[in-house]
Structure 1
Amino acid sequence: MVDKIKAIYFKEEVSEVEEKRVTGIGGFFFKTENPKELKDWYKNHLGLNTDDYGCTFWWNDEKGNKCSTQWSPFKNDTNYFEPSQKQFMQNFRVHDLESLIKKLSQEGVTIIDEMQTYEYGKFAWILDPENNKIELWEPIDSAFL
């Protein structure tokens, strides 16, 4: 509480003092009959700059760092969203994935599989109370530049 009061008094952002968890949307993934056809439609009619994975939207965070958000259609028969049976999966950008997974586990959140690390970031998966699979991503956006 003292840290919050200091932050307000010294005009620091409270979010920098509070524990960070989700920092933004990392992506939106969904199932479709024909991903290529759908990507082409979005490219031709809405101007999305699509590739094999969908479309990457680039933006700058509050500190001016380049960040990305992914839009990706998947083939209906994908097993990537399992164990969820939903037609979509959310991806959230997070600050410190290892610490967050420990906290979520302590809070009784269902963790799926082991955390995975790649040159573009760390990934982990959880289930919400309705069994929606959520992908958590600690990004390394510079890997995409």
Structure 2
Amino acid sequence: MAKVLGVGGVFFKSADPAATREWYARVLGIAFMDWGGSVFLPQDAAAHPGAATVFSPFDAETDYFAPSDEPFMVNLIVDDLQAMLARCAEHGVEPLLTMAGEANGDFAHVMDCDGRKIELWQPKPME
């Protein structure tokens, strides 16, 4: 029987894709390939027990993605949330919210250059 194996990518529109790639490279350290995307390999996240890909529809009335007007939010797994937030701060990007010690790890919300909310997640090791 056929089944979904996971999320194969996150694709979104941007008014200036080059500027958006530059922001993600500079602020979050994401390396982009010549074709314009970045590939996150499962084995890279496997070094951090508890890391997983979540697929979760939210109620249309949720304010969890605010202040973004986008109907989605991207969650990025990080290996060191505090170091990532320090990197963000070096580029003038401050967290909107931080949530330490949650059941699944530590989280922080930042806004990207296009007004999308990005959730940074340092997973808590699974038991």
Whose Rg is larger?
Answer: 1
1:121 correspondence with 2:121: no
Q: How big is each residue's C-alpha offset from its partner over 1:29-51, in whole Å with a ceiling of 9 and x where there is no partner?
A: xxxxxxxxxxxxxxxxxxxxxxx
Taking every aligned residue pair, what percent have the same amino acid on both sides?
32
Give me the CA root mean square deviation: 2.6
Alignment of 1:56-67 (within 5 A): 61=43, 67=51
* Count of residues in Structure 1 that have an aligned counterpart in Structure 2: 88
* Unaligned residue ranges in structure 2 (runs of 5+): 1-27, 31-41
Amino acid paired to 1:131: G
1:83 correspondence with 2:67: yes
TM-score, normalising length from structure 2? 0.59
Alignment of 1:2-17 (within 5 A): none
Query: Partners in 2 of 1:85 and 1:115 — Cα distance?
Result: 22
Q: Select the structure that is richer in strand.
A: 1
The residue aligned with 1:74 is 58
Tell me which of the two structures has the higher relative contact order, counting C-alpha pairs closer than 8 angstroms and 6 or more residues apart: 2
Q: List structure 1 segments (4+ residues) > 6 angstroms apart after TM superposition.
A: none
User: CA, structure 1 residues 79+61, in 2 after alignment: closer, same or farther (shift >3 Å)?
Assistant: same
The residue aligned with 1:130 is 114
Shift in Å, 1:104? 0.4
Query: Partners in 2 of 1:87 and 1:74 — Cα distance?
Result: 9
